[in-house]
Structure 1
Amino acid sequence: MLWKNRNDRVWKQHSLGSKEVVESAKFVLNQWRYVQDKSFNHYLGYVTQDDGHEHWHLPQIDRVKVNTDTAIFEGSMCYSHAFVARDHHGQLIEARSRCLQGTIAPEIAEAIEMKEALSWIKEMQYSNAEVETDSLQVVQAIRSSITSSSYWGRVVDECRSLLVSLKAKNVLLRFVKRSANRVSHYLARYSCSIADRT
């Protein structure tokens, strides 16, 4: 993370503060440990037994499942995010995609999409919702108590606040493998070539 931060400063004229570098290093280390060591204590990495599914599953009866994902298009200097909401029959409730100009770190794009999905759940006043993402870093950050004054930290804090406001609505956050998140992944990848859609 020190080397990445140094390269960002030299080549992109952008760098993180020391606190943000340490936070990023901790998240990356936790991700690496989880992937490498099946005996790793999941709770140290803010990962639970419900995380890590490799296949998409129907939500329980009367629950809504929202899958989120993003895509970065470095060649065209844009990024996109998408979410797909389905009911306990697997039927589509709503899907949204949006493509934005600019360059952004993947973890920030993933956190922004998580915030969009949680805001949608709150706006639609859904109870018993599950939000799934294939970004372990975002899930760990939201579940942890570490705060940061960076843009990344502010977006994560907004996600935490939304989850707190939805606590009575029984909204769950889960990390899943990319294979369990294919529909939102394809929608995010495709949204670069079409206008924003709902």
Structure 2
Amino acid sequence: MTHNDGKEHWEYPRNGDLKVNTDAAIFTNSNRYSFSMVARDHLGELVEAKSSCKQGTIDPVLAEAIGIREALSWVKEHGWCGTAVETDCLAMVQAIRCSSVTLSYLGRVIDECKGLLAQLKERNVTLMFVKRSANKVAHYLARHSNSIADRSWRMEDVSPDFYRVMLDDLKVE
């Protein structure tokens, strides 16, 4: 871990930068999994949020890896610079930072994450581990997207519950 890993509370990014939180959820009863990503600016305001729910039974770590890969692709697609991508899955952050190669589907997703991070290095995009308490908004969205195929949100689209979770994140403790 680095000195920036393990934050317990959501922290504002620097002026002009963004923070993207990502999380995944498994729904065993319906054979589905989902992942979400939430981009916020230096004021804590929602830039955009996105979630996706897929059919299939997969390992939770693989779902987290897919969510991280999709978040990095999303950052690349938007051309965002100065972006910290945060996840509460320490195992994935460590695997992506590790130089070893794993020959499996999970290893392929990890390699794709490594490749995206290398491509985004000049844009100052980083991957960080945070505790679940600092990842509440992405966690909420992943848990509540079990019936939503693919969806994006802007500030005017969020539900009152989603908005409350975002506001709760911004409280300084």
TM range (shorter): 0.7 to 0.9
TM-score between the two structures when normalised by the length of structure 2: 0.86
The structure that has the greater radius of gyration is 1
Aligned to 1:161: 115
Superposition RMSD in Å: 0.7
Aligned to 2:82: 128
% identical aligned pairs: 59
Q: Normalized per residue, which structure has more helix?
A: 1
Letter in 1 for 2:123: K
Listed as ranges, the gaps of 5+ residues in structure 1 are 1-46
**Structure-2 change in CA distance of 1:195 and 1:153 (3 Å):** closer
Taking the TM superposition and a 5 Å limit, the aligned residue runs for 1:64-83 are: 64-83=18-37
User: How far 1:172 moved relative to its partner?
Assistant: 1.1
Distance 2:150 2:6 in 1: 30
Letter in 1 for 2:59: A
2:146 match: secondary structure: helix
Kindly indicate whether residue 98 of structure 2 is the aligned counterpart of residue 144 of structure 1.
yes
Secondary structure of 1:197's aligned partner: strand
Residue-by-residue CA offset, 1:27-75 (whole Å, 9 max, x unaligned): xxxxxxxxxxxxxxxxxxxx11110011001111111100000000111
Do residues 186 (structure 1) and 116 (structure 2) align?
A: no
- Once the two structures are TM-superposed, the CA of residue 196 in structure 1 deviates from its matched residue by 2.2
Larger strand proportion of the pair: 2
| Higher RCO, 1 vs 2 (CA within 8 Å, ≥6 residues apart) | 2
* Residue 193 of structure 1, CA deviation: 3.1
Distance 1:172 1:147 in 2: 20
Structure-1 residue corresponding to 2:40: 86
Match of 2:55 in 1: 101
**Structure 1 segments (4+ residues) deviating >6 Å:** none
Q: 3-state SS of the aligned residue for 1:120?
A: helix
Q: Please give the TM-score of this superposition, normalised by the length of structure 1.
A: 0.75
Q: Distance in 1 between matches of 2:149 and 2:81?
A: 30
Q: How many residues align?
A: 152
